[in-house]
Amino acid sequence: MSMKARIFSTALNKMERRVYSTVTIIVIGTFLATMWPIYPLFSRIRPFVLGMPASLFYLLVLVFLVFFSLLALYRWEDKRGKFE
Amino acid sequence: MDNWLIVTLVTVGYLFVSLLVGILAGRRASSSTAGYVVADREFGFIIMYFVMGASIFSAFAFLGGPGWAYSRGAAAFYILSYGTVGLAPWYFFGPRVAALGRKYGYVTQADLFAHRFQSPALSVLMAIISLVCFLPYLILQMEGAGYVFDVVTEGRIPPAAGAAIAYGVVLIYVYYSGVMGVGWTNTFQGVFMMALAWGLGLYLPYQLYGGVAPMFESLSQSVPEMLTAPGLDTDGTRWTWGGYSSSIAISVFGFSLWPHYFMKIYAARDERTLKKTVVWYPTFMIFLVPIMFIGFSGVLRFPGVEPADAILPTIVTSLGLPAIVVGLFCAGALAASMSTGDALVHAAGTILVNDFYKVSFNPDLDDAQERRLIRFFVVAIAGVAYYFAVFSSFSLVYLLLFSYGFLNQFMPLIIAAFFWPRATRPGVLAGLITGCATVIIWTYFPELQWQKIHPGIWGLGANLVAMVSVSLATQPMDDEHVLKFVVT
């Protein structure tokens, strides 16, 4: 068997690999944060934020977390000329 | 003028605009199969954003979504949860899929996997599974459309007619314009849906409680168990974290793999467009928040509504709203249904011809013939779905339960395709079949679902075990071929 299973391309340098790993961890972390055992810690009614129970507002925070993380990654890739 | 007539006219107005947009859109694509199926790989960001957003928001958005919040409280939060990260995997594997699609001319999901694993049988199997997953979903959309039209016109436009009118329009623009029609109408329908969701989602709490905050304050006094996850189960008892979490998990795993979704990767103009769509996609999820407000607003004010899915139509028709507003609601609900139904019916026809018929019976099918056949089957499949939606009381419950379970069995395929060179054809076939069989067994015998964990998860476990063991026990695939696909 000559090929190894890889997650990241060997063409990436250490810094790039670290950026992708970080974003991947944030995304997976967010996914886990919507479920047991993390979400139960935050699934409470109070405090109300923007009129919503904390259990709902927490999920909105996660939406924005993913959005801003991927947005940052996208802009970083753009700056490095990945989309030309 | 009678209320129901105004409602109908507003709805017909919406349908007319949809039809116009859908037909005109067709002029922008070439008359090849690639034009019909993947828009010549030229979709820009706005269209991609709305296709992805509107396709997943089906009639469920205005019927089931509020219904869940109304009857099960915070259990409905799972819907908001899975969309958050659901599309994120595309950021990472999407560009690879698109590049391979351009290089080898793929138009469907199965095209890629059949090529990677050198297996026509895999193409046929995926086609069958895809169609099995699509059909109940499509039937539900037609039923939803018919139901809403019936309720808002107080029965004057019966479900059979409502579904026929809405889906007659869908058929016309999908037939003529293919995926271009889907894309442009989804953009129009998506804007419409979002406006309706926010409009009703803020108006109803104000009307019924004096605001969102007073509404939740009130609920926290009377039914606090509805405001914390995992919320309630269908029988009113507390749902389990296992049920709640696994529902999110299988929805997330399956999200990026729905065949009618996946094939849109090929339609994106370039990597930038694809990634930008993924980045902005979570913002579409935000419109689920007012959807939940709608369901919650019904809890104390409209007790005992059965089935729960009827809560929004019930509220809308009970509040004495102006007929134009009711008409807009009907149009919005139809938009939600049609924007999913059009993608489903278009993909179903394409997959049946490209992945099943062409592979099994006629590999020499030329482009013009293929396009003609796809159009024929788009109509035929819509007809079959309509029959079941209107004339048959066949229960969709099991089929729907199977759908996500089966869909999840595609996940090991995508992982193996790009990250595991040692996967073999017998291995992935064994995995897929074992996974699906497990889903069926665990669905028919719910006692097997420890902690109410979804059958799809059990299927995934069995799938991975079978795929890995059979792959390792069989001959490795040719290096040169595998190198075209895997990350190196």
Residues B460-464 have a mean pLDDT of: 96
Q: pLDDT tens for residues B317-330?
A: 998 889 999 999 99
Residues in chain B within 8 Å Cβ distance of A44: 228
Least confident of B279-288, B363-372, B390-399: B390-399
Q: pLDDT tens for residues B60-77?
A: 889 989 999 999 999 999
Q: Are B226 and B219 spatial neighbours (Cβ–Cβ below 8 Å)?
A: yes
Q: Which amino acid is at B270?
A: D
Q: Are residues B179 and B38 in the same domain?
A: yes
Which of B216, B239, B270, B487 to mutate against chain A (most A CBs within 10 Å)? Answer: B487
Q: pLDDT tens for residues B377-429?
A: 999 999 999 999 998 876 677 677 788 899 999 999 999 999 999 999 999 99
Task: Please check whether residue B401 lies inside any domain of the structure.
Answer: no
Taking an 8 Å cut-off on Cβ atoms, the answer to whether A71 and B279 are in contact is yes
Task: Please check whether residue B403 lies inside any domain of the structure.
Answer: no
Residues in chain A within 8 Å Cβ distance of B252: 31
Q: Are residues B358 and B418 in the same domain?
A: no
How many domains does one find in chain B? 2
Task: Please check whether residue B106 lies inside any domain of the structure.
Answer: yes
* ipTM field: 0.94
Taking an 8 Å cut-off on Cβ atoms, the answer to whether B487 and A1 are in contact is no
Q: Are residues B418 and B355 in the same domain?
A: no
Nearest CA in chain A to B248: A35
The residue out of B339, B362, B395 marking a domain boundary is: B395
From the list B88, B249, B486, the residue facing A27 with the nearest CB is B88
- Looking at residue B392, what is its pLDDT? 81
Q: Are residues B280 and B323 in the same domain?
A: yes
Domain boundaries of chain A, sorted by first residue: 25-79
The residue out of B352, B371, B395 marking a domain boundary is: B395
Q: Are B39 and B29 spatial neighbours (Cβ–Cβ below 8 Å)?
A: yes
Provide the shortest C-alpha distance from residue B220 to chain A (in Å). Answer: 7
Q: Determine the Cα–Cα distance for residues B244 and A22; give it in Å rounded to an integer.
A: 27
3-class secondary structure, A49: strand
Q: Using alpha carbons, list the distances in angstroms from residue B130 to B1, B397, B410.
A: 46, 17, 10
Task: Please check whether residue B95 lies inside any domain of the structure.
Answer: yes
Q: Is the peptide bond before A37 cis (omega within 30 degrees of 0)?
A: yes
Of B58, B76, B57, which is closest to residue B67 (Cα–Cα)?
Answer: B76
Taking an 8 Å cut-off on Cβ atoms, the answer to whether B488 and A55 are in contact is no
Backbone angles phi, psi at B268, to 5 degrees: -65, 140
Q: Are residues B317 and B417 in the same domain?
A: no
Q: Note the pTM of the prediction, 2 decimals.
A: 0.92
Residues B447-453 have a mean pLDDT of: 85
- Looking at residue B5, what is its pLDDT? 92
From the list B213, B242, B280, the residue facing A48 with the nearest CB is B213
Residues B45-65 have a mean pLDDT of: 90
Q: Give residue B450's domain range.
A: 409-488
Q: Are B129 and B403 spatial neighbours (Cβ–Cβ below 8 Å)?
A: no
Q: Determine the Cα–Cα distance for residues B183 and B256; give it in Å rounded to an integer.
A: 18
Taking an 8 Å cut-off on Cβ atoms, the answer to whether A55 and B252 are in contact is no
Q: pLDDT tens for residues B19-35?
A: 999 999 998 888 899 99
Nearest CA in chain A to B475: A1
Residue given tokens 């007619």 in the structure block: B161
- Looking at residue B47, what is its pLDDT? 94
Q: Are residues B100 and B208 in the same domain?
A: yes
3-class secondary structure, B238: strand
Q: Are residues B419 and B387 in the same domain?
A: no
From the list B230, B272, B487, the residue facing A7 with the nearest CB is B487
- Looking at residue A2, what is its pLDDT? 57
Taking an 8 Å cut-off on Cβ atoms, the answer to whether B482 and A3 are in contact is yes
Q: Are residues B335 and B456 in the same domain?
A: no
Mean predicted lDDT score pLDDT of chain B: 93
Residue B445 has pLDDT above 80, yes or no: yes
Q: Are residues B285 and B427 in the same domain?
A: no
- Looking at residue B472, what is its pLDDT? 96
Percent pLDDT > 70 in chain B is: 99
Q: Are residues B486 and B366 in the same domain?
A: no
Q: Are residues B144 and B82 in the same domain?
A: yes
Taking an 8 Å cut-off on Cβ atoms, the answer to whether B286 and A60 are in contact is yes
- Looking at residue B366, what is its pLDDT? 92
Of B189, B190, B142, B204, which is closest to residue B167 (Cα–Cα)?
Answer: B142
From the list B85, B213, B228, the residue facing A55 with the nearest CB is B228
Helices (H), B210-267: 212-222, 241-255, 259-262
Q: Are residues B378 and B423 in the same domain?
A: no
Q: pLDDT tens for residues B105-151?
A: 999 999 999 999 999 999 999 999 999 999 999 999 999 999 999 99
Taking an 8 Å cut-off on Cβ atoms, the answer to whether A34 and B280 are in contact is no
Which of B68, B79, B82, B84 to mutate against chain A (most A CBs within 10 Å)? Answer: B84
The residue out of B333, B365, B395 marking a domain boundary is: B395
Handedness of CA B451, B457, B461, B463 (dihedral sign): positive
Q: Using alpha carbons, list the distances in angstroms from residue B328 to B16, B184, B313, B325, B331.
A: 14, 20, 12, 5, 5
Q: Residue B238 sits in a domain of what CATH number?
A: 1.20.1730.10
Q: Determine the Cα–Cα distance for residues B315 and B291; give it in Å rounded to an integer.
A: 13
